[in-house]
Amino acid sequence: MLDFSVLNPKIIYEFVLRWLHLVAGITWIGLLYWFNLVNVNFQKTLEADLKPKVNPILVLPTLWFFRWAAALTWVTGFLYYANILMGETLSGMGQPMLTWLVVVGITYAVIFFLIRPDGALSNGYTLAGITAAVVILMATVLYKAYDHLGVNTNPSYMIGIGGGLGTLMLLNVWGIIWPSQKRLLGVTALAPGEDKAKFARRVFLASRMNAWLSLPMLFFMGASSHLNLIHWG
């Protein structure tokens, strides 16, 4: 027998956030994998004269769902995480959330600089190694900061890391992939001296980075409630 007596506005609010987060996240990550596992190889089979005819019809609508699903995933996840931090400290979520935003923001500033379409950092293996070191440093700083602030439960840290990785991915979508794709697809005209091949390479690097970051991101999200790994003290 269904019992709705346990429901209250807070529970309903959190459930709706989680449901929207899951729906949007499945859409976003599913399309991310499609781009990396299907579209990359498909593009190699297209002749040069076919790409301007096929890609605006195929890729442009896909990018619309891709970037807005990413945005909805992040917004609902952020609001849900704010609820978690709200219950962690007597002083509220302000200081932990500000710390999280600063640490993740600085991390992305480094990531944005690393994704270069030329030079040594254009090499996928080099980029992957440096990115892994940067992400591990981000996780370590958050661990130490949260311990200092008294935010010391497994969900607060695990979702903090998973959400941090998701934020890096979101910023790659809106800061690199979409602006570059607009030039590749003719939505925005190339400025004099801009090289289309460099935009294509940057899109590839950012998209491939997101695909790899999605794996630990999903791990930390799942571990927040199903794998109690973090213990303080």
- 42-75 pLDDT tens trace: 989 988 888 888 988 999 999 999 999 999 999 9
Residue 3's pLDDT band (boundaries 50, 70, 90)? low
Contact (Cβ atoms closer than 8 angstroms) between residue 85 and residue 97: yes
pLDDT at position 6: 67
Reply yes or no on whether the pLDDT at 100 is more than 90.
Answer: yes
DSSP 39: I
Q: How far apart are the C-alpha atoms of 185 and 187, rounded to whole Å? A: 6
Give the Cα-Cα-Cα angle 20, 31, 156 (nearest 5 degrees). 45
Q: Give the residue with greater pLDDT, 71 vs 228.
A: 71
> pLDDT digits over 211-225, tens only?
999 999 999 888 877
Q: Give the residue with greater pLDDT, 227 vs 109.
A: 109
Give the sign of the dihedral formed by CA 116, CA 117, CA 119, CA 125. positive
pLDDT at position 48: 84
Reply yes or no on whether the pLDDT at 90 is more than 60.
Answer: no
Domain ranges of the chain: 9-226
Contact (Cβ atoms closer than 8 angstroms) between residue 74 and residue 21: no
pTM across the whole model: 0.92
For the residues 82-103, what does the mean pLDDT come to? 80
